[in-house]
Amino acid sequence: MRDLAVELAALRAAGLYRAPRTVDSAQGPVIASGGREWLNFCSNDYLGLAADARIAQALATAAARRGCGSGAAHLVCGHSAEHAALEEELAAFTGRPRALLFSTGYLANLGVLAALAGRGDSVLEDRLNHASLLDGGRLSGARLSRYAHADAEALEAKLAVAGGERIVVTDGVFSMDGDVAPLPALADACRRHAAWLVVDDAHGFGALGPQGRGSLALHGLDAEAVPVVIGTLGKAFGTSGAFVAGSAELIEYLIQKARPYIYTTASSPALAAATRASLRIVQAEDWRRARLAALIARFRAGAEQLGFGAQLLPSTTPIQPIVIGTAEDALAAAQRLADRGIWVTAIRPPTVPAGSARLRVTLSAAHTDAQLDRLLDALAAALPAPA
């Protein structure tokens, strides 16, 4: 039998051991954990909505009226009027005819890829795609190949020799690097090769584009250019869940074929009501995105001034990683920040390629300038002096 203790010890020795820490407060720029307060620079709560009182109230009101549990999967009797209304509103938000809710983004990605691709087909993925997209590609049974990061020419070379139905898959905003995919070039390549383009905009929806319409809106890409769009609700929207948007045929097909849609309990109807409240706020409060843009500029200027600009990645989004190198060094840097009351996670392999372990700093519209400056001061003290 496999010796789990030995494997765990090996992970610990390599600086790759992971453990969740328990949070004793609501999400926000300051959170409580382990009996003290922390300045939080690692959540995906980009717009500061995870603990918004209006959204919490919508959840409470809907729970009082409809209860907590959905009771069953969507195709049994778990599809409530709140789910239906949210799907219509997400379709309008994305400018697509229909949208379909999934319980999480991970499940949406498994469901979409395993439904659209099968044996004999080709799934082509950016090398830095989110793990759930890679897992979906594997689950589909199609031939999975990965093209060089954000490289439309490398994709085109692979498309030219790929067999079967071709499905190209990319993050809209890369979750560990923060850069935006070259979507117009990818869409052109897909059009030339009659391939599907699937964009997972988990970190774009809410945070980018007018009214938070995401990285596709940023580039003005329509349903013809990008037939399959995936969004998640646990990041900028501040709730949880995910959706796929596209044509009526796509959604009907997924309802028949996507097993992670069919064989799982529908999320709480109260959660759908909360997300409906969030969607209204996301669209109405452009000031949150303006505030984020100001914080991103302040962070990058401050980092340059402190001399670690070269370790920043070319990101214009609230994901602002600082590349450190080895897993051990990234962990040590995160620990030195923790010693100063700042919570930033060290992202290590296999989440990122070996040698590029990093501090994944994320910004939220709820951060103040003073809090950001505290982060910069702590980084100046915690990071090894730039070479």
Ligand X SMILES: *Cc1c(COP(=O)(O)O)cnc(C)c1O
User: What residues line the site for ligand X (CB under 6 A)?
Assistant: 104-106, 109, 130, 132, 171, 175, 200, 202-203, 232, 234, 242
247 included as an active-site residue: no
Which H, E and C letters describe 265-313, residue by residue?
ECCCHHHHHHHHHHHHHHHHCHHHHHHHHHHHHHHHHHHHHHCCHHHEC
Is the CB of 166 or the CB of 203 nearer to ligand X?
A: 203
Nearer to ligand X by Cβ, of 169 and 378: the residue is 169
Distance (Å, rounded) from C-alpha 319 to C-alpha 128?
15
Active-site entry in 43, 175, 215, 364:
175
Is 175 considered catalytic here?
A: yes
* CB of 306 vs ligand X, minimal distance in Å: 28
Task: Give me the catalytic one of 203, 267, 315, 356.
Answer: 203
The terminus-to-terminus CA distance of the chain in angstroms comes to: 47
Q: How far is the CB of 351 from ligand X (least distance, A)?
A: 11
Can you give the C-alpha Rg of the chain in angstroms?
A: 21
According to the 3-state scheme, what is the secondary structure of 57-121?
A: HHHHHHHHHHCCCCCCEHHHHHCCHHHHHHHHHHHHHHCCCEEEEECCHHHHHHHHHHHHCCCCC
User: Of the two residues 155 and 207, which places its CB atom closer to ligand X in the complex?
Assistant: 207
Whose Cβ is closer to ligand X: residue 263's or residue 381's? Answer: 263
Active-site residue among 43, 235, 356, 367?
235
Integer Cα distance of 387 and 383 in angstroms: 11
CA 203 to chain centre: 4
User: How do beta strands 36-40 and 30-33 pair?
Assistant: antiparallel
Nearest residue to ligand X, scored by beta-carbon proximity: 105
Nearer of residues 232 and 356 to ligand X, judged by Cβ: 232
Q: Helices 81-94 & 269-284, crossing angle to 10 degrees? A: 30
**Nearest one of 340, 345, 284 to 19, comparing CA atoms:** 345
- Cα separation of 65 and 77, whole Å? 17
Unique residue bearing structure tokens 């789910």: 83
Least distance from ligand X to the Cβ atom of residue 267, Å: 11
Query: How many angstroms separate the CA atoms of 237 and 283, rounded?
Result: 10
Sign of the Cα pseudo-torsion (100, 101, 102, 108, in order): positive
Nearer to ligand X by Cβ, of 173 and 382: the residue is 173
Helix (H) or strand (E) holding 231: strand 228-232
357 CB-contact burial (10 Å; exposed 0-12 / middle 13-18 / buried 19+) = buried
How near is the Cβ of 234 to ligand X at its closest, in Å? 5
Kindly state the smallest distance separating residue 301's Cβ from ligand X, in Å: 26
Q: How far is the CB of 329 from ligand X (least distance, A)?
A: 24
Whole-angstrom distance, CA of residue 60 vs CA of residue 68: 9
Nearer to ligand X by C-beta: 175 or 311? 175
**Quick check: is 203 catalytic?**
yes
For the bound state, the minimum distance from the C-beta of residue 128 to ligand X, rounded and expressed in Å, comes to 10
- CA separation for the pair 356, 11 (Å, rounded): 18
Residues classed as catalytic: 175, 203, 235
